[in-house]
Amino acid sequence: MASCLSILLLLLVSSQSPAPAFSASVASAGRSDDATIAPAPPSCAARGVRFHGRGIRIADDLFADCDEDGAPRCYRVGAAGKALVPCEEAASPGERASREPLAASNGTQQHVRCRVGDVEFDGLSHYLVGEMRRPGSVFADCANGVATCFEDDGVADSASRRIPCDGAELAARRRRLGVYTAGQGATAWPHRVVCVRWQASFRQEVKELWYRAFQEYLVKTGIHFVSFLDCRARFGAKTTVCNDCQTYVSFTAQSSGCSASVGFFTDSPHELDVGGADCANIGTFLHELGHVVGLYHEHAHPEREVIVLRDQMSSISSNNYAIAKRDETATTKYERRSVMHYDANALCVPKNPKLRYCDVTETAADGCVEPTPKHCDRSQQSTFGQTDTLTPQDVATILKMYEKVPLHPNAPAPRSRSFRGAAFDASGDSSSWGVDEDLA
């Protein structure tokens, strides 16, 4: 097994409040072990954007595939799946305002840059306000001179909400975010206790998977998941646990994907959503709980051994694939098999690891090689990606992050069975399903 590696955010508040770590993997992402190199796909144009590949974000929640005959096929993604829409649909005022193409200095169109306010950039996942996974931050994708801005809500593995690329609005967000980051950043959960509110009904077999996932974190890391309904009775009044029992993670099943908020913070809601058809498996549950306790994606590691094919990225936001900045993180060893590592076809091990490949935030103008399918060694596709258990390095990363976080005296022993698989009140309210009770 390759050596493991995970990433920890720098401590933002104090030495007693470690910031989130990096790690991850999406079970719903596909995998192919086909080592055959596909020919370069045809180029398509839609809504003023030229592209190739599939699952390309054209605007807001609009995506497009470039078919083999060069014809674009546009669609929106919702709870019911893909809904085809005309590619010629009129652009919104916000979309038109975000398009500020800048030709390269040599007059060619090879590297068309974008401008938002006083910031000029190219590539994807360029942060204009704040930083990755800081709720309220803003990042932008630049594709063929078209800038598209998104709000980072602190949720990993999901599509971010599109916002106008407006200079005045971004300046106001910088001021608001400055107050926020000076106060409360995303950190480890106090006393290693995570409060949970069940807002979705799960089948019995799915509840058993949640129990297994909770138990794995409890036994291996000492992190305890407790019903917010039981928080005050167990930990008392005016407790630092879960921000005096007021901060909890809402477990829902509303979207068509699998996603979760990252780390502990008090200025916005926490959510874990597993509404996607492929979410109900132990690997995905461990992955999303990893985000909850503070882990980021393992393939965001500065020393990752995979490259990203941006034209094969799924419909989730580009910041899920970007490398973390070294000046914002401290690192442990990279782990190809981390539960927090994507295993999608958008990632591959390069045939020539000595080349410097572009991150999604870069283009060839930055002196790197833009990855294409011909650079991939698909025979190694099974050597990285999510497992169905926390690896030793995943555990080491979490313990490093929480090493200065003391356990609460009322927390359960590491091997107690502190979970009940099915407990609903008379009204059938699934929020009463306590994770702090004996397994039924």
Each residue of 323-368: pLDDT tens digit? 876 544 555 788 889 998 888 788 999 999 999 999 988 888 888 9
Are 249 and 292 a contacting pair, CB within 8 Å?
A: yes
Ligand-binding annotation for 287, yes or no, is: yes
Please compute the mean of the pLDDT values over residues 162-183 and round it to a whole number: 61
DSSP 393-431: HHHHHHHHHTTT-PPPTTSPPTT-----S----TT--GG
All domains in the chain, ordered by first residue: 7-33+186-432 (3.40.390.10), 45-85 (no CATH), 93-183 (no CATH)
Q: Say which residue, 331 or 381, is predicted with more confidence.
A: 381
pLDDT of 104 > 70? The answer is: no
> pTM above the 0.95 mark?
no
Q: Which residue of the set 216, 288, 335, 362 is catalytic? A: 288
Furthest C-alpha separation in the chain: 71
Spell out a b/e string for 209-226, using b for 16 or more CB atoms within 10 Å of the CB, else e.
Answer: bbbebbbbbbebbbbbbb
Q: Read off the pLDDT of each residue in 149-157 and give the average, rounded to a whole number.
A: 79
Whether the CB-CB separation of 263 and 249 falls below 8 Å is answered with no
Q: Taking 80 as the threshold, does the pLDDT of residue 284 lie above it?
A: yes
pLDDT of residue 31: 31
Mean pLDDT of 365-394: 90
pLDDT greater at residue 110 or residue 301:
301
Mean pLDDT of the chain: 74
Please report, for residues 16, 32, 166, 414, the alpha-carbon distance to residue 387 in angstroms, rounded to integers and kept in the order given. 31, 16, 42, 23
Give tens-digit pLDDT for 11-59.
Answer: 333 334 444 455 433 333 333 333 333 445 567 777 666 677 777 776 6
Strands 193-198 and 249-252, bridge-based pairing: parallel
The mean per-residue pLDDT over the stretch 274-287 comes to 92
Mean pLDDT of 258-285: 90
Closest CA to 227 of 261, 193, 273: 193
Q: What percent of the chain has pLDDT over 70?
A: 68
In this prediction, residues 410-420 reach a mean pLDDT of 56
**pLDDT tens-digit series, residues 233-251:** 999 999 999 999 999 999 9
Q: Over 70: is that where the pLDDT of 72 sits?
A: yes
Q: How confident is the model at residue 117 (pLDDT cuts 50, 70, 90)?
A: confident
- Among this protein's residues, is 362 annotated catalytic? no
Q: Could you tell me the two tokens for 191?
A: 């006393």
What's the pLDDT at 379? Answer: 92
Residue 435 corresponds to which amino acid?
Answer: V
Beta-carbon contacts of 34 under 8 Å, excluding residues fewer than 6 positions away, are: 378
Is 322 a residue whose pLDDT tops 90? Answer: no
pLDDT over 50 (residue 190): yes
Q: Mean pLDDT across the stretch 57-85?
A: 75
Please give the DSSP secondary-structure letter assigned to residue 12. S
